[in-house]
């Protein structure tokens, strides 16, 4: 039963002001350029899962492909990452709010689709890479503080018990608690590392005298 399960999950916290808008973005492919996941639990749960704390790393770590760095922020600091079973692990504290950080390391816009406990952070339903995410601009860091409830606000991510998790209270499903997901998509027609390459190609092919159909020439003269 969910109410008897130990360890952390993510609850539906207080309202946090976080405005959003829309803009055009066409994916270069239906497949992400980077796909990653991150596990979390409390200290006792980490010990039960035999997480090796000697593998401690900085909070923000690169995702596959080096397109972004991402991690978890709680209590005004980025939580340390631990290497665990080929992936990453962070240790949270029950009752604390947290946010997800995604830093764009490329030179073009990227779309970040994020999930918490198997749920999409924008609509709160089952996560899917087919759903749309947030845009992250070059060199900028996106901070997502909760599940979106409107265009103006989110419900804060809060480390909670499994029984009090949003996944359990809203969907009655706790199979995927304790895991965060990230899928990154590049923009169609734009190279994430060299976004001006198309412009360079156009200029390289520019001609001083384009071969257009011949028309009567105009003679300009002055007295």
pLDDT tens column, 80-109: 999 988 899 999 999 999 999 999 999 999
**Summary mean pLDDT of the chain:** 90
Which phi and psi (to 5°) does residue 106 adopt?
A: -85, -170
- Identify the pLDDT of residue 9: 97
Question: Which of 29-33, 55-59, 128-132, 203-207 is the least confident region?
Answer: 203-207
- Identify the pLDDT of residue 201: 57
**Is pLDDT of 22 > 90?**
yes
pLDDT tens column, 152-193: 999 999 999 999 999 999 999 999 999 999 999 999 999 898
More confident residue, 25 or 210: 25
Using CA atoms, how far residue 7 sits from 42, 102, 139, in Å, is: 6, 25, 35
Would you state the torsion angle of the CA atoms of residues 176, 177, 180, 184, taken in this order, to the nearest 10 degrees? 30
Sequence-ordered alpha helix ranges (H) in the chain:
43-48, 166-171, 197-204
**Is pLDDT of 143 > 70?**
yes
**Is pLDDT of 198 > 60?**
no
Report the pLDDT averaged over residues 11-26. 95
Provide the pLDDT confidence category of residue 144 given band limits of 50, 70 and 90: very high
- Identify the pLDDT of residue 215: 52
Report the pLDDT averaged over residues 121-136. 97
């Amino acid at each position: 039963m969910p109410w008897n399960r130990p360890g952390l999950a993510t609850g539906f916290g207080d309202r946090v002001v976080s405005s959003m808008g829309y803009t055009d973005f066409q994916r270069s492919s239906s497949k992400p350029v980077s796909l990653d996941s991150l596990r979390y639990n409390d200290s006792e749960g980490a010990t039960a899962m035999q997480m090796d704390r000697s593998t401690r790393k900085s909070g923000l770590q690169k995702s596959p492909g080096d397109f972004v760095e991402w991690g978890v922020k709680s209590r005004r600091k980025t939580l340390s990452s631990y290497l665990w079973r080929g992936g990453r692990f962070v240790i949270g504290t029950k009752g604390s709010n947290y946010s997800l950080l995604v830093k764009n390391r490329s030179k073009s816009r990227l779309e970040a689709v994020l999930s918490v406990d198997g749920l999409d952070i924008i609509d709160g339903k089952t996560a899917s890479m087919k759903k749309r995410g947030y845009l992250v601009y070059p060199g900028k860091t996106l901070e997502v503080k909760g599940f979106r409830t409107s265009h103006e606000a989110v419900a804060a991510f809060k480390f909670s018990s499994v029984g009090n998790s949003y996944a359990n209270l809203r969907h009655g499903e706790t199979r995927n608690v304790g895991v965060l997901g990230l899928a990154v998509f590049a923009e169609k027609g734009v190279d994430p590392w060299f976004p001006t390459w198309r412009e360079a190609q156009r200029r390289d092919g520019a001609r001083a005298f384009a071969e257009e159909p011949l028309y009567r020439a105009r003679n300009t003269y002055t007295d």
